[in-house]
């Protein structure tokens, strides 16, 4: 294996390329190396002369413009080396620069990427190492605000102008015009991300290096001249500007916390968007039908009432349409890539139309023209189908540009994953963006994990790292090739993933998952059981949070006098006191609560529990929800079926669990409801007697028994 492979990505800059190759010949490194030039379908006339002048180098002439990242990956795939030096053609190598750069990398084993010092043609220092972008940085670097605030502290920090660039140090990222990449580090992160045609591929690669535990280091010990033009900033609306903007959007779609949040809430957001488009289409159809009737008024013997008379009927129509669409399942499966069946949509439109016609007939609404309804029905079917088709077209366009894909983590044996990844189909077309895979129960067990799919799918950690990896890499979907079991991810990790609203998918062989509320869906060509949040749970959760907030606000006022008496006067029950208690719950919220307890350690009634009322207001507790347990975790957890059927929920001060706390458990009815609320009054949270030396709760045991 070679020590160094130098990869140059060229496009229509033959003069710069000639100067770069001349410097490589004059300042060649002492180690065994190779130079590989990848040409991205250049059309300039000087390329043939440069090619003939340097036949000793390897050349690849692409039939299309691959872009910077694809070109770099193609070049690196042609040569095996310990280090890869990615160069722009506008780099001029200085004497001993390559040897010094390699020597520094050898002395810095934690460095995955090393960026040398770059100089302008006048030998002044170029700011080639930078801090990661922030929103303020983008506004000041890419809008007119930069001209208003040219000396902004934000921009100075981004360009690292507070650093003299004369000493070696770890940095956030270095520009990709000249960067040395360690092969072993690339095996942890994968090569450049090919979604970036030009720009931000270097920022993304450095970000992934840091995520994988490798450092990005800048050093002035090696110096190169860079004839940097910064074309993306030379014009407002030239092609490079739009390429830079597109790559910027792709970068934040991949790593932005806000985009990750929106992806996790994509299903309810799509439901709301489709509903809004349906209602807009329905209103437009109604107005259009009225307009047609007015335009054709000469063909009718009866007159037409003013539109103001129709407004109440329009509002009634919107209400009926909403209810019918909800009850007939129009808003289920909004993420499916298959178009909706026309027959099912026409049935839904027909039900709405029949109900509206029946309502006007039974209500003897003489102001309504039957012709308006006849015009309305086909217009209604057309406008609502347009909204649905529009959403799916936008989804496909965004997915094609890598802007709406499911950032997916694979969990399974490398051999199985390799076979799945190498099947002849496009994962991007199916909405899947594979970030990497996880396997092994320990780092030692997973030593030397292979790169998959031609080196683009790296190993990201062990099963013990699942939850942390999902957050670090902004994962929105995880596909398992291992059924839920004690040998797989722990219950606590799965609870964390469900709280984060990450889609969890299993092979359909585990059919029992379908009985827990999962739905069948094709993922990468295979049938899988997909566990996700039901759209209705969002509405129920919102209403419960609102009710808990209002109840908490009322209880804060009612309980404050009793709490003050307990804390200041200590008159209730003699030695009553407040005690901070760590708790555990099935979903890992694990709030630490402050309880008012009596002399015997028993929890006092609700009127003394002002901190619990405040927790209701803050959202740390709900009025009803799963039980949270003080002290050590219980001996047994909830069953596997119960875990998967239920939706993650904040712990409650009462709930269905309260029915089992009476000497004779109640099955249902008014007596059962009375028991639930009696628990809220007498023992809110069901904490019972709190031991004086209650230890911090341990890990919730996993119960993976499959029914």
DSSP 12: S
User: Regarding predicted confidence, which is higher, 686 or 69?
Assistant: 69
- The confidence band for 521, taking pLDDT boundaries of 50, 70 and 90, is confident
pLDDT in tens, 338-360: 667 788 888 899 999 899 888 87
Contact by Cβ (8 Å): 185, 191: no
> Which tokens belong to 606?
């609700």
Instruction: State residue 169 phi and psi, 5-degree precision.
Output: -165, 155
Beta-carbon-side half-sphere exposure of residue 490 (alpha carbons within 13 Å): 16
At residue 98, does pLDDT exceed 90?
A: yes
Q: Of the ranges 240-249, 300-309, 320-329, 583-592, which is most confident? A: 320-329
At residue 706, does pLDDT exceed 50?
A: no
pLDDT, position 151: 78
At residue 632, does pLDDT exceed 60?
A: no
- How do beta strands 81-87 and 178-182 pair? antiparallel
> Which tokens belong to 689?
């007697």
> Which tokens belong to 643?
């875990």
Residue the block writes with tokens 């706390």: 661
Q: What would the mean pLDDT of 663-687 be, rounded to a whole number?
A: 67
- Whole-angstrom CA distances from 188 to 119, 203, 291 are 31, 17, 64
Q: What would the mean pLDDT of 382-403 be, rounded to a whole number?
A: 82
At residue 454, does pLDDT exceed 90?
A: no
At residue 538, does pLDDT exceed 80?
A: no
Number of H helices, E strands in the chain: 22, 24
- CA separation for the pair 404, 243 (Å, rounded): 18
At residue 421, does pLDDT exceed 70?
A: yes
- CA separation for the pair 651, 653 (Å, rounded): 7
pLDDT, position 658: 72
Q: Of the ranges 177-191, 438-452, 455-469, which is most confident? A: 177-191
Contact by Cβ (8 Å): 456, 547: no
- CA separation for the pair 629, 686 (Å, rounded): 8
Burial of 108 (0-12, 13-18, 19+ CB in 10 A): middle
pLDDT, position 395: 79
Q: What would the mean pLDDT of 368-373 be, rounded to a whole number?
A: 78
pLDDT in tens, 22-61: 999 999 999 999 999 999 999 888 899 999 999 999 999 9
- The confidence band for 514, taking pLDDT boundaries of 50, 70 and 90, is confident
Contact by Cβ (8 Å): 659, 678: no
pLDDT, position 510: 65
User: Regarding predicted confidence, which is higher, 72 or 600?
Assistant: 72
Q: What would the mean pLDDT of 643-660 be, rounded to a whole number?
A: 79
DSSP 603: B
> Which tokens belong to 321?
């349409």
DSSP 565: I
Residue the block writes with tokens 């909004």: 334
> Which tokens belong to 267?
């299903």
Average pLDDT value over all residues in the chain: 83
pLDDT, position 461: 87
69-73, 237-241, 317-321, 435-439 — which is least confidently predicted? Answer: 237-241
Q: 7 pairs with which residues across the strands?
A: 36, 86
308-322, 468-482, 487-501, 513-527 — which is least confidently predicted? Answer: 513-527
User: Regarding predicted confidence, which is higher, 371 or 639?
Assistant: 371
- CA separation for the pair 209, 186 (Å, rounded): 8
At residue 384, does pLDDT exceed 80?
A: yes
DSSP 265: T
pLDDT, position 664: 53
- Read off the pTM: 0.74
User: Regarding predicted confidence, which is higher, 251 or 517?
Assistant: 251
Burial of 626 (0-12, 13-18, 19+ CB in 10 A): buried
> Which tokens belong to 698?
């341990």
pLDDT, position 233: 47
pLDDT, position 332: 80
pLDDT in tens, 50-59: 999 999 999 9
Q: What would the mean pLDDT of 634-638 be, rounded to a whole number?
A: 49
Give the containing element (helix H, strand E) for 499: helix 491-499
Burial of 284 (0-12, 13-18, 19+ CB in 10 A): middle
pLDDT in tens, 235-280: 455 667 777 777 788 888 888 888 888 877 888 888 899 999 999 9
pLDDT, position 535: 59
pLDDT, position 89: 94
Q: 44 in helix, strand or coil? A: coil
- CA separation for the pair 303, 82 (Å, rounded): 86
At residue 573, does pLDDT exceed 70?
A: no
At residue 572, does pLDDT exceed 50?
A: no
Alpha helices, DSSP H, located in 604-661: 610-618, 640-645
Q: What would the mean pLDDT of 396-407 be, rounded to a whole number?
A: 78
User: Regarding predicted confidence, which is higher, 679 or 121?
Assistant: 121
pLDDT, position 382: 93
pLDDT, position 700: 37
Instruction: State residue 579 phi and psi, 5-degree precision.
Output: -135, 130
pLDDT in tens, 106-152: 999 999 999 999 999 999 999 899 999 887 887 777 677 777 887 78
Burial of 34 (0-12, 13-18, 19+ CB in 10 A): middle
Give a three-class secondary structure readout of 73-134: HHHHHCCCEEEEEEECCCEEECCCHHHHHHHHHHHCCCEEEEEEEEECCCCCEECCEECCCC
- How do beta strands 629-630 and 81-87 pair? unpaired
Q: Of the ranges 229-233, 304-308, 544-548, which is most confident? A: 544-548
Q: What would the mean pLDDT of 155-183 be, rounded to a whole number?
A: 92
Output b/e per residue, 363-378; b: 16+ Cβ within 10 A: eeeeebbebbbebbbe
pLDDT, position 518: 77
Contact by Cβ (8 Å): 702, 491: yes
Percent share of the chain, pLDDT over 90: 34
Contact by Cβ (8 Å): 38, 62: yes
Burial of 288 (0-12, 13-18, 19+ CB in 10 A): middle
Q: What would the mean pLDDT of 602-628 be, rounded to a whole number?
A: 86
- Go through the domains of the chain in sequence order and give each one's CATH number: 2-127+165-229 (3.90.550.10), 134-162 (no CATH), 260-400 (no CATH), 408-534 (3.40.50), 577-618 (no CATH)
At residue 665, does pLDDT exceed 90?
A: no
Alpha helices, DSSP H, located in 621-661: 640-645
């Amino acid at each position: 294996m070679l020590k160094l492979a130098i990869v140059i990505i060229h496009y229509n800059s033959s003069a710069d390329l000639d100067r770069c190759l001349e410097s490589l010949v004059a300042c060649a490194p002492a180690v065994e190396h190779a130079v590989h030039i990848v040409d991205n379908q250049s059309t300039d006339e000087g390329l043939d002369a440069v090619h003939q002048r340097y036949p000793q180098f390897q050349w690849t002439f692409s039939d299309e413009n691959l872009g910077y990242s694809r070109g770099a990956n193609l070049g690196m795939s042609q040569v095996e080396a310990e280090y890869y030096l990615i160069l722009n053609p506008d780099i001029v190598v200085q004497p001993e620069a390559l040897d010094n750069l390699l020597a520094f990398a050898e002395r810095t084993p934690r460095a995955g990427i090393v960026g040398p010092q770059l100089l302008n043609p006048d030998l002044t220092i170029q700011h080639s190492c930078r801090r990661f972008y922030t929103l303020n940085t983008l506004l000041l670097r890419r809008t007119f605000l930069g001209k208003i605030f040219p000396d902004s502290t934000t921009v100075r920090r981004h360009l690292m102008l507070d650093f003299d660039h004369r000493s070696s140090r770890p940095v956030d990222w270095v520009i990709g015009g000249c960067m040395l990449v360690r092969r072993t580090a690339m095996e942890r992160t994968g090569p450049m991300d090919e979604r970036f045609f030009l720009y931000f591929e270097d920022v993304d690669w450095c970000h992934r290096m840091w995520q994988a535990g490798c450092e990005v280091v800048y050093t002035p010990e090696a110096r190169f001249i860079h004839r940097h033009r910064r074309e993306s900033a030379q014009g407002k609306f030239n092609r490079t500007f739009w390429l830079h903007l597109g790559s910027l959007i792709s970068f934040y779609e991949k790593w932005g916390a806000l985009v990750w949040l929106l992806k996790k809430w994509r299903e309810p957001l799509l439901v709301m968007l489709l509903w809004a488009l349906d209602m807009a289409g329905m209103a437009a159809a109604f107005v259009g039908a009225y307009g047609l009737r007015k335009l054709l008024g000469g063909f009718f013997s009866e007159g037409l009432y003013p539109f103001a008379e129709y407004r109440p009927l329009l509002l009634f129509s919107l209400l009926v349409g909403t209810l019918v669409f909800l009850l007939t399942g129009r808003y289920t499966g909004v993420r499916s890539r298959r178009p909706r069946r026309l027959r099912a949509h026409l049935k839904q439109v027909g039900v709405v139309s029949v109900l509206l016609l029946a309502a006007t007939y039974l209500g003897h609404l003489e102001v309504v023209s039957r012709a308006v309804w006849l015009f309305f029905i086909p217009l209604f079917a057309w406008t609502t189908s347009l909204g649905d088709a529009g959403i799916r077209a936008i989804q496909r366009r965004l997915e094609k540009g890598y802007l709406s894909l499911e950032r997916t983590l694979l969990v399974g044996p490398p051999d199985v994953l390799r076979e799945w990844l190498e099947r002849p189909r496009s994962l991007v077309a199916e909405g899947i963006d594979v970030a990497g895979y996880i396997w092994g129960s320990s780092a030692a067990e997973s030593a030397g994990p292979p790169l998959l799919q031609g080196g683009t799918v790296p190993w990201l950690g062990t099963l013990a790292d699942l939850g942390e990896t999902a957050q670090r890499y902004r994962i929105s979907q995880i596909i398992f090739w291992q059924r839920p079991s004690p040998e797989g991810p722990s219950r606590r990790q799965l609870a964390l993933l469900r709280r984060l609203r990450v889609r969890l998918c299993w092979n359909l062989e585990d059919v029992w998952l379908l009985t827990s509320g999962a739905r069948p869906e094709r993922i990468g060509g295979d049938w899988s059981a997909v566990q996700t949040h039901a759209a209705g749970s969002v509405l129920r959760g919102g209403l419960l949070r609102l009710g808990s907030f209002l109840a908490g606000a009322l209880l804060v006022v009612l309980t404050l006098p009793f709490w003050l008496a307990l804390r200041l006067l200590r008159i209730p029950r003699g030695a009553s006191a407040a005690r901070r208690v760590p708790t555990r719950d099935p979903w890992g919220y694990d709030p630490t609560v402050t309880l008012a307890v009596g002399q015997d350690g028993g929890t006092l009634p609700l009127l003394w529990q002002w901190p619990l009322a405040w927790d209701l207001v803050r959202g740390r507790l709900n009025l009803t929800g799963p039980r949270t347990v003080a002290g050590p975790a219980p001996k047994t957890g909830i069953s596997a079926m119960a875990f998967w059927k239920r939706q993650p929920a904040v712990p409650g001060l009462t709930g269905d669990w309260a029915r089992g706390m009476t000497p004779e458990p109640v099955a249902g009815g008014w007596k059962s409801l009375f028991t639930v609320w009696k628990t809220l009054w007498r023992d809110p949270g069901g904490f019972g007697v709190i031991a004086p030396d209650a230890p911090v709760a341990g890990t919730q045991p996993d119960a993976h028994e499959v029914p």
